[in-house]
Amino acid sequence: MAKVAFLLANNFEDSEMKNPYDAVKEAGHEAVIVGAEKGAEIKGKKGTVSYTSDVSINDIKAADFDAVVIPGGSSPEGVRVQDQMVQFVKEANDQGKAIAGICHGPQVMISADILKGKKTTCFVGIRDDVKLAGAEYLDEEVVVDGNLITSRTPKDEPAFIREILNKL
């Protein structure tokens, strides 16, 4: 059983959190919602789902997890401004852990400076940002490069989830 950290802030894309989270749990893995504070309610931007954070980013280490998932929407903007969240992603990458980001999720990877020389995809609105971070942008439903898994939009979720489960 793998332990997967879901990095979350308000206004995440509802399905990009719910579907991978449910799939990870259904596959028998432990899914942990990581927020700025433990016990905080974190709401989706469409209002169809909300979650309560299981742990605070200040109370965990990347070494305790097997993978990291970064749902899209506006949540990655809220995640990337927290130094501890960015440091967590950087350490997970240094340890070779799977790091999956969909839609705007790669914004956190940019802040963690882990995209240089990697192939990636993302929501089209941030493709210039990933290129400036040193990545090769590919317009594909899912791109796997080493430990990194990236996808573009909710319609790519089946491929995104498949590749997360493959890594676990």
Task: Encode pLDDT of 140-164 as tens digits.
Answer: 999 999 999 999 999 999 999 999 9
Q: What's the pLDDT tens digit per position in 87-123? A: 999 999 999 999 999 999 999 999 999 999 999 999 9
- pLDDT of res. 21: 98
Q: Residue 12: its pLDDT value, please? A: 98
What pLDDT, on the 0 to 100 scale, is given for residue 160? 98
To 10 degrees, the CA torsion angle through 95, 19, 122, 155? 150
* Nearest residue to 118 via CA among 89, 90, 144: 144
Residue 139 DSSP one-character state: -
Alpha carbon 79 to its chain centroid, in Å, reads 10
How confident is the model at residue 37, as a pLDDT?
97
What pTM was estimated for this model as a whole? 0.98
Among the listed residues 7, 103, 135, 161, the single catalytic one is: 103
Q: In terms of residue numbers, what domain contains 58? A: 3-167
CATH code for the domain in which residue 100 is found: 3.40.50.880
pLDDT category, 45, cuts 50, 70, 90? very high
Catalytic residue list contains 103: yes
Give the mean pLDDT of 30-56.
98
103 - beta bridge partners? none
Ramachandran assignment for 11, one of left (phi > 0), alpha (psi -120 to 50 degrees), beta (any other): left
What total of structural domains would you count in the chain?
1
